[in-house]
Amino acid sequence: MSAIQVEEITYRGWEHCIQVSNGHLELVATTDVGPRVVDLRPVDGENIFFHDRNVVGTTESTEWEVYGGHRLWHSPEAHPRTYQPDNDPVEYEITDRGCRLVQPVEEETNIRKTIEIEMIPYEPVVEVTHELTNEGLWSVELAPWAISVCKPEGTAVVPFPDGDPSELLPDRSLVFWPSTDPSDDRLLYVDDHVLVDHDEGQELKIGANVFDGWTAYVLDGTAFVKTFEYDSTATYPDRGASVEVFMIDPLLELETLGPLVELDPGETTTHTERWHLFEDVDQPDDGEAAAALASDLD
- The rounded mean pLDDT for the chain is 95
pLDDT at 122 exceeding the cut of 60? yes
Q: Which of 102-111, 272-281, 286-295 has the lowest mean pLDDT?
A: 286-295
Domain at 56, CATH number: 2.70.98.10
Q: What band does 72 get if pLDDT is binned at 50, 70 and 90?
A: very high
- Judging by DSSP bridges, how do beta strands 214-219 and 268-278 pair with one another? unpaired
Q: What is the DSSP letter of 103?
A: P
What is the domain extent for residue 236? 5-295
d(CA 143, CA 270): 9
Counting other chains too, the contacts that 52-61 makes at CB distance below 8 Å and 24 or more residues apart are: 52/250, 56/12, 56/13, 57/11, 57/12, 57/13, 57/14, 58/13, 59/14, 59/32, 59/33, 59/87, 59/89, 60/87, 61/85, 61/87
Number of domains in the chain: 1
Predicted local distance difference test score (pLDDT) of residue 289: 83
- Is the per-residue pLDDT at 71 higher than 90? yes
CA–CA distance, 198 with 250 (Å, rounded to integer): 9
Percent of the chain at pLDDT above 70? Answer: 99
Q: What is the pLDDT of residues 204-234, one digit of tens each?
A: 999 999 999 999 999 999 999 999 999 999 9
What amino acid occupies position 210? V
Burial 223-238, CB ≥16 within 10 A → b, else e: bbbbbbebeeeeebbb
Distance, in Å, from the CA atom of 145 to the CA atom of 224, rounded to the nearest integer, reads: 18
Give the closest residue to 209 by CA, choosing from 266, 167, 143, 256: 256
* Pairwise CA distance, residues 13 & 55, whole Å: 10
Each residue's pLDDT tens digit, 32-43: 999 999 999 999
pLDDT at residue 106 in the model: 97
H helix or E strand, kind and range, residue 59: none
Q: Which pLDDT belongs to residue 78?
A: 95
Q: Do 116 and 92 meet the contact criterion of CB atoms below 8 Å apart?
A: no
Question: pLDDT-derived band of residue 1, with 50, 70 and 90 as boundaries?
Answer: very low
- pTM, entire model: 0.97
Q: With contact defined as beta carbons under 8 Å apart, do 49 and 150 qualify?
A: yes
Q: Is the pLDDT of residue 27 over 60?
A: yes
**CB contact set of 254 (below 8 Å; sequence gap of 6+):** 147, 148, 150, 156, 215, 216, 217, 224, 226, 245
φ, ψ dihedrals at 65, nearest 5°: -120, 145
Q: Which of 28, 64, 61 minimizes the C-alpha distance to 47?
A: 28
Residues 175-190 have a mean pLDDT of: 96
